[in-house]
Structure 1
Amino acid sequence: MLRSIIGSILCALTALMSFCVYPGSIDKEALQIPPLFDETKISPITDGLGSAHNRKKQTIAVATILSPLAFDEEKKSIKAELVSGLLSVYGLALENDAKYRGAIGANRAAQELQPQARSYLLPNMELSLGVAENDRDIRKGGLYRTMGQAGFTSEEMKVTVTQPIYHKDLWVQLGQAKNRIKKADFNLALARQELMVRVAERYFEVLRTTDGLTFAEAEKKAIDKQLQQVRKQFKAGLIGITDVEEAKARYDLAIAREIEAKTQIDNAHEALWQITGKYLPRLGPLGKRMQPVFPEPNDIDRWTQIALAQNIELAIARQSAEVARTEIKRVRAGHLPTLDLVGTHYREGNSADQYGERDTRTSSITLQFRLPIYQGGLVLSQSREAIHRHSHSQALEEMVEISRSVQQKTRDGFWKVRSGISHINALKQVLQSTEIALKAVKKGFYVGTRNSVDVLNSQRKMFRAKKDHADARYDYVLDVLRLKQVAGVLSKEDLVMVNGWLE
């Protein structure tokens, strides 16, 4: 009877429990997010001899703690001849950047919103079982009652199936779930674009600091050479001790700059390691193939229109505003009637007592109509709250603010790219002028018309011009990527383009 049914169900539950995964036996590999980037499809950058180097694929476990000690160990384990391009660095960041991996997890969680919302519109089946041991003591019997004590077992089983037919709020909730999934997809796309820009920024920061160290070492070497010449002239009685001390002071300052440059390059490498999980000693430098060009289209109003249509932050704000708007509908639906189809099967029985054994079965199908009449003003209050949230800062006002910010950033980015081209060309002329001036000053020093201080100052200007010109080229590349990001059109193809400029 029902007892045997209950026993069968308990056995089935026990069997299912044996397959459950407890905290002590969690499959850690199942918890890890699989990589979304196939590194095998990336062509590694070639070195000066034209030979390509394959690098080992290294992944970082979720539980790995990124500490300075781990960075030092990684630094020691890398072969110095490996050269990494922007695409390969981006591939490592896709696999190891914690912020981006977190965005992937959040997106996957959001994909479950629609199945959850849909489940409220599907049939809901519930089974309840009960077994009770009863002791009955009848001390006064009526006309047909038998006095005395009796023990018996009562059992009951109830199966209820409910199918929602009309629930306005549930249908609105399903639409909201779709909007929230779209918002989550936009958030993931935004995280991917932000990762592209962060990778490029940290990649070129390494190149920038590497140039700084190169220029600092070259300047120190040039000053040292000048110092030796000044000392020889001092010994020959051609110049005074002041020139020697000035050259010595410049040399000491060059040593300090070199030390500072080494610290900066270490910091830049560690920042890149933070998002890639790998120490990359050699990065492909920005070559002469990079020729700055005006934005395409070369129209600031057109770029603004593109940004208003495709900027991802603005798209996220639109989805938030839409969810807030439909929330008004969902809350107001609390005033509307609901209709459900309910099917019930009920079985009750007990073993023999004074009146014998009983077994009762009841089945019913009910069309259940509910109409909220008064709920203490709750629905009205919730409706006003939803209207305020949609009409003010949390929805429409926020979207207006983001729209204005996008327009301002787009215009600023457009002019930065355009002015960056002029800046690069101007600094190129400055570099050529300082190189010519240095040669002239050195000749004047040899013939006695210029002193050592003039030579040192001219050298300093030349190295400063070299660094400024290199920095302007890096800034131009980053400004191009940032302009495309704010316009919402940044993609991997842009990284492919930049990667083609590397040597």
Structure 2
Amino acid sequence: MKRTMIATSLAVLSQVAAAADLLDSWRASQQYDANYQAARYALDAGREKVNQGRALWLPKITLDAGANAASQKYHPGRDTLTAPETSANGDQYNVGVSAAQPIYRADVFVGADQLSKQTDLAEVQFRDAEQQLILRVALAYFEVLAAEERVQLSASQKEAVSQQLAQARKSFEVGVATITDTNEAQARYDAITASEIAALNDLEIKRNAFQMLTGLDATQLAKIAEGKKPTRPQPPVMDEWTQRAQVENMSVLAQQLNVDISAREIDRYRASTAPTLDLVAKYGSSWDSDELSRSGGRDRSDSGLIGLQLSIPLYTGGDRSSRYREAIANRDKEGSSLEAAKRNSVQQAKQAFLGVQSGAAQIEALEQAQRSSLSSLESTKLGREVGVRTTVDVLDAEQNYYQTRYDLVVARYQYLYSRLQLAYAVGQLDEGDVNEVNQWMH
């Protein structure tokens, strides 16, 4: 008895665990989607930019060492006993340490700030990739559910028409109906069969797309629960959303950083003509072998220095001027791209806002239409039984009812997706929004 209860409990739990909802799908895609993983690595790389900027101000220390085979020949202007002509071959060795600490470098100051902004850009781009992943997962999820509803619609219509076809044939056989009803029912049945085949094919395509994105089994997804009431956007004023989108949209933020980075590039080439001042220090030793030394033994020389090194660029062959003009053109290009990003964000916000607003109204209207179409179907069936309606009328009423039911389900998916799109338009889409939409699932 206990084993049976345990087995039953495990079976129930396995069925529950197998049904993934939208939140499960989103979390799975974070580990499975290759594009998201690439964005994560790009973030890691981008975060190193700020460290590279700090390194520009730190001292650079270098160790140098060398070993050379040397040949020396001395030819005196006058050959004497004290200054004879000599020739020697031997080895020379040297080792030394040098260090340089920037004291004043305008280009380093600009470059460090530019690298810091590149790190900020990497953060924004990753955040945008994360939000886009939410949209991609939600779209794939809802498309699977909509395709399943389409298959269910075709199956329900096929079953209903099959019953009407059988009844029409029976009525014709007993002489209470014409062959027209039978032919009409048969034509409807054949058309629905073709539609069902197309719906099954589309469902398989949508499931494959979802599985490629999340790695989950697309045959067990939680569907939308009945009874959930849609809400209008809050705040309910479109202008407030469009204003936020022009400031907080991820694409706008990224493009604004691109403008800032390109502007600092102009500053960098301006600063390239400024003098640079470094604190430098060196210390080293060199050795000459016995054959080359003056003393007849291995000679060693030590040297060291510390001081300031000033450099003033005078002429670069026109390279700096050309790069400066190029940087100005790139800054202007990024400025135009920023304006385009703002306009696109406004369009996204408007479209998503209207999608939520009209979607809520459409759901309410379709819920009423579903109730009305069901009443109409029941009345039409009753009318056919008493002889005031035909089989065609019943088929039309059934088609209207099932299509309305399908439209209602799709409207709910579109409404929920528009909610996510609206949050994305203002740069605020996160797991909290996914969780809110997930409350509609069961």
Taking structure 1 as the reference length, what is the TM-score of the superposition? 0.81
Task: Tell me whether 1:380 sits opposite 2:380 in the alignment.
Answer: no
**In structure 2, C-alpha distance between the alignment counterparts of 1:138 and 1:305, rounded to whole Å:** 84
**Cα deviation 1:196-253 (Å, max 9, x = unaligned):** 1111111111111111111111111111111110111111122222321221121122
Which residue pairs with 1:286 in the alignment?
224
Distance 2:43 2:16 in 1: 38
Q: Which structure 1 residue ranges, 5 or more long, are not aligned?
A: 1-48, 56-78
Structure-1 separation of matches of 2:321 and 2:351: 46
The letter for the 2-side match of 1:461 is N
Alignment partner for residue 352 of structure 1, among 278, 285, 290? 290
- Going from structure 1 to structure 2, the CA distance change for 1:177 and 1:52 (only over 3 Å counts) comes to farther
AA at the equivalent of 2:407: D
Deviation readout 1:431-462 (Å, 9 max, x if unpaired): 22221222222222222222222221221111
AA partner of residue 359 (structure 1): R
What's the counterpart of residue 456 of structure 1? 395
Matched, 1:368 2:309: yes
More helix by share: 2
**Alignment deviations for residues 64-89 of structure 1 (CA, whole Å, 9 cap, x no partner):** xxxxxxxxxxxxxxx79721111111
What is the aligned counterpart of 2:54 among 111, 118, 126?
A: 118
Q: CA deviation at 1:150?
A: 4.3
Distance 1:430 1:251 in 2: 25
Asked whether the 8 Å contact 1:331–1:383 carries over to 2, the reply is yes
User: SS of the residue aligned with 1:112?
Assistant: helix
**Alpha-carbon displacement from aligned partner over 1:283-342 (angstroms, at most 9, x marks no partner):** 111112421111111111222222223211111111111111111111100110000111
Specify the alignment match of 1:45 in structure 2.
none
Out of 375, 379, 383, the position equivalent to 1:436 is 375
The 5 A counterparts of 1:177-192 are 177-192=115-130
Which residue identity is paired with 2:319?
L
Give 1:96's match in structure 2, choosing from 24, 29, 32: 32
1:453-477 per-residue CA deviation (whole Å, 9 max, x = no partner) reads 2221221111111111111111111
Match of 2:43 in 1: 107
Asked if 2 retains the 8 angstrom alpha-carbon contact of 1:53 and 1:82, the reply is no
Relative distance call for 1:499 and 1:53 in structure 2 (3 A) is farther
1:121 CA displacement: 1.8
Counterpart pick for 2:133 among 195, 210, 220 = 195
Find the aligned partners of 1:264 and 1:491 in 2 and give their Cα distance: 30
CA RMSD of aligned residues (A): 2.3
Which residue is 1:491 aligned to?
430
Alpha-carbon distance between aligned partners in 1 of 2:371 and 2:222, rounded to the nearest angstrom: 25
Runs of 4+ aligned residues of structure 1 deviating over 6 Å after TM superposition are 49-55, 137-141
- The whole-number CA distance in structure 1 between the counterparts of 2:13 and 2:52 is 46
AA matched with 1:292: P
CA distance in 2, matches of 1:50, 1:439: 41
For the 8 Å contact 1:80–1:281, the answer to whether it is kept is no
Residues 327-336 or 156-165, more deviating: 156-165
Alignment match of 2:355 (pick from 412, 416, 425): 416
Structure 1 CA distance for aligned equivalents of residues 41 and 74 of structure 2: 64
**CA apart distance, 1:112:** 1.0
Distance change (3 Å), C-alpha of 1:432 and 1:323: same
- 8 Å CA contact 1:270–1:279 kept in 2: the answer is no
Aligned residue type for 1:243: D
Match for residue 91 of structure 2?
A: 153
> Which of 471, 476, 481 is the aligned partner of 2:415?
476
How many residue pairs get aligned? The number is 430
Report SS of the residue matched to 1:416: helix
Partner of 1:21 in structure 2?
none
Partner of 2:79: 142
Deviation at 1:171, TM superposition (A): 1.1
3-state SS of 2:103 partner? strand
Following superposition, the deviation at residue 499 of structure 1 comes to 1.3
Distance 1:314 1:412 in 2: 17
Q: Percent identity?
A: 30
Q: Does the CA-based 8 Å contact 2:114-2:261 persist in structure 1?
A: yes
